[in-house]
Structure 1
């Protein structure tokens, strides 16, 4: 709408300029910026714009409204194609009119007004063949009609009847020609049963309790689920475990054995570095030296306390055993995070 109004304004200005060219005393341009000189004929062009009335732009008449100071909005008629029946030739219908900033819908069908007549509201009383494999009680054959068509009762025929009223179509229920629901056929791109008939276009609808599989979904479209049936497998319930051993379940037994062995290995590594390091307090013969610094059992107790997050009584004096203990601290953090 804004684009149309802009084109109208440009055409109105062009019309005013054209009219001004035929008037005596009109100067095409004597305007200047340096020095400032207004266009002496500008007022004449403006007067022609304001006196514009009933100018035919090809889309409608343009007139200047002196009360509002704007051009009057003109009407735009909308024509759209309409197909009355599936497969029938389309025809053009006057479907809407835009005037004074409002849209009026002129095409009416199915109790509603539309700007686009082919807006889907139903199948326009088209005839649809639905393939419905008999399966009691969802689809029960009430009467045979010939050519494998039938009158049915049950859950599925009721749904098709409801859809026919809502979507405006007529239908015929038929059995599948081969009596199958639908599955892959070796050496053929088409499925058997109702699925194959929908795939080949013999019928327009498959109505029944079809199981949605990946293979079927690759050749036909399924609607939203109207009925869901689930299958379950019954297995014996496992015996409840003894609560006394639940503390060991987060880790496997192999990991518990490796963890126990790592206590002795880590304690030995720290002890051997402290015992032979020339920078330990004992080897330096410092006054603060204690024999626990070179005692293997003390280091075994230290790494065990770290694993239990209980701290320790002393730290080795040399850097090498201290760094080894730091690696053990990181290992304890990782094991704790995995356990919890």
Structure 2
């Protein structure tokens, strides 16, 4: 996704100048989109929740792998866009000279290697998902971003990130069963990502009212889906796990309504993006389109929370929700897009 300019960055346009430790840290925080990083752990937690399994050491390794691969994508994105950014966004870390292009590319390679290594430590099933995830990230940044396949590639990456958590959590016991159970959650997260990425395609020049309207429609459809109980939980785990879910009020095959927690989280997801999407539909100017993209990124967290809660994992939902204040705090200092 293209990025909007955070307040206070204009000084960088006059020239890189000498950078102290604080200046270098800020430059790298901008390059790696530090606030957006808090939207990543919820993917693996939602994937683990969908398998009806408890988060374990392998889940933590999957989160570490996801964080590394996400940051690889951020660094590679700016490296691939350095020529365009020199014209349209000279304040960005690479064209302003605050981060050298070679350093950004090296960081992308290092993060990719670290991500795959952590996935390997989580087990073969996790590595089997992490490899196509890393491939998708590099393909998007280097070749697919500006093609019609770009939004779909981004959506695929986000869906694979959730499946990485599912594969790691189940381990070698029944990885295919765990991945199948997580497919609906991965599809929902992918659909949201597809909508946000489509809106962001031309945010610096002005977006498309049709893209914003489609994103608004997608949000409504996902909200309706989330507030309806899963049709079945068969094959999602042991009988004990299913009984535990039932004790937490999670709807299963009995046809009970969705819990108030899921409804509240779904409402939080919808309200985060509905108004910005609506405004961008009426007026797809660069500022309103960029605001809609930022809202779509922030909405990842309540969506992940709703997916975890709907799968019967309130603890995972709470842990994911705890990341939201941190994301908001850092977003005041560094742009999320």
Common fold by TM > 0.5: no
Which one has a bigger Cα radius of gyration?
1
Structure in which a larger fraction of residues adopt helix: 2
Greater RCO between the two (CA within 8 Å, min separation 6)?
2
